[in-house]
Amino acid sequence: MDPENSPARKTPPTGLNIAIILGSVAIYCASLWVASHSESLAGQIIAIIVFANVGNTLFALLHESVHGIFSRNYRVNEIFGQIAAMCFPTGLRFQRTCHLGHHLRNRTDHEIFDMYYPTDNKPMKFVQFYCILTGIYWLSVPLGCLLYLFFPWAYKIFQTPLLSKAQTDSVMLLPFLDHPAKHRIRFELLLTLAFQVMLFIVLDLSFWPTFACFWIFGMYWGSLQYADHAWSPRDIREGAWDLRVNPVTRLVFLNYHYHLAHHTHPRLPWLYLPHYVDHSKPRPSFLKIYLEMWKGPKPMDAPPPKAVDEAFRRELNEDEVRWNAS
């Protein structure tokens, strides 16, 4: 492929991304306000559903910033990435550390929640899997952020054999123990906490309607995060699906369902993903995978994936993600 036309050279739609994120934040805030202040149950339900969807739009843009493809301008990428992160709520660099590690561990024993070995603790595997579907997995992210913000030393627990060797994905948290940007990560998490507290006060939010907004969003988010991978090939780079969904949902989620295209070309902006979908490969519907997930994990039917090559590691390296640090 001509280097000038490679996926990694595609220009991010910076102006469009900024317009989407600003509009999404406005809808995000309005949905929270309506959920807390609407006098009708129907109004609250609509607000919660809108919030759950726009929350995923914001996460998709956070995902772009994590990979350095929200904008070619480094400062723009980082500022708007942190804005999106505060809505999740998490921190940009916290999410980047976890997510780039995911690209290197995908479909390995550390991230294989949809299957179990004969020696695995089967009840635990089922509990983990249903935590993804019910929103509990999402809740672990802001709680983990708070723990790192106030008690970073507590992350040493993830070094214990009970957690580090179990298929809990706790390995993704080990880099935080000696992270070179530890103070920046905690500063971003402090900004996120301040933002969420400010929203709660300024918008005069009520706890339970706000909790409902985030919980339903968490169910949406968690279900998609794993439906993209469930029962896909055990290959670190190819272990994902380009799922079929209706065009409106695909637009709201900014082509996030084209996840195999993303894992194959992790520095390809969301706008171009449809052009890199391999239609010769299976493309199950999101609904089919989602409903299948509710049946729980299945017996393991494939060996662990081979290690990725150094070229792929360099492609995911944070310094490589910085296209333009101007």
Alpha-carbon distance values, 37 to 44, 53, 207 (Å): 8, 20, 11
Provide the pLDDT for residue 277.
Answer: 97
- Name, in order, each residue with C-beta under 8 angstroms of 189's C-beta and a sequence gap of 6 or more: 90, 91, 94, 145, 146, 148, 149
Q: Is-contact 217 55, C-beta < 8 A?
A: yes
Read off the pLDDT of each residue in 3-8 and give the average, rounded to a whole number: 59
Q: Which phi-psi region, left, alpha or beta, contains residue 296 (left: φ > 0; alpha: ψ -120 to 50)?
A: left
The enclosing H or E element of 299 equals strand 298-299
Cβ atoms of 242 and 248 closer than 8 Å? no
pLDDT of 323 reads 37
CA distances from 84 to 5, 79, 140, 210 (A): 29, 9, 18, 18
d(CA 286, CA 141): 24
Higher pLDDT among residues 109 and 14, named by residue: 14
pLDDT digits (tens, 9 = 90+) for 259-292: 999 999 999 999 999 999 999 999 999 999 999 9
Instruction: Indicate the burial class of 4 (C-beta count within 10 angstroms; 0-12, 13-18, 19 or more).
Output: exposed
3-state helix, strand, coil in the chain (%, to 5): 65, 0, 30
Bigger pLDDT: 179 or 82? Answer: 82
Question: Could you tell me which residue, 322 or 118, shows the higher pLDDT?
Answer: 118
- Please state, in angstroms and rounded to a whole number, the distance separating the CA atoms of residues 80 and 44: 29
Identify the pLDDT of residue 163: 62
Please, which pLDDT band fits residue 87 given cuts at 50, 70 and 90? very high
What confidence score (pLDDT) does residue 244 get? 97
**pLDDT score for 309:** 79
pLDDT at 26: 98
Secondary element (H or E) of residue 262: helix 259-264
- The span from the CA of 111 to the CA of 114, in Å, is 9
Query: Any idea which residue has 């492609």 for tokens?
Result: 315
**Pairwise CA distance, residues 312 & 104, whole Å:** 9
- Tens of pLDDT along 30-78? 999 999 999 999 999 999 999 999 999 999 999 999 999 999 999 999 9
Report which secondary-structure segment, H or E, holds 199.
helix 182-202
Would the pLDDT of 160 be above 90? no
**CA distance linking residue 51 with residue 32, whole number of Å:** 7
pLDDT surpassing 90 at residue 2: no
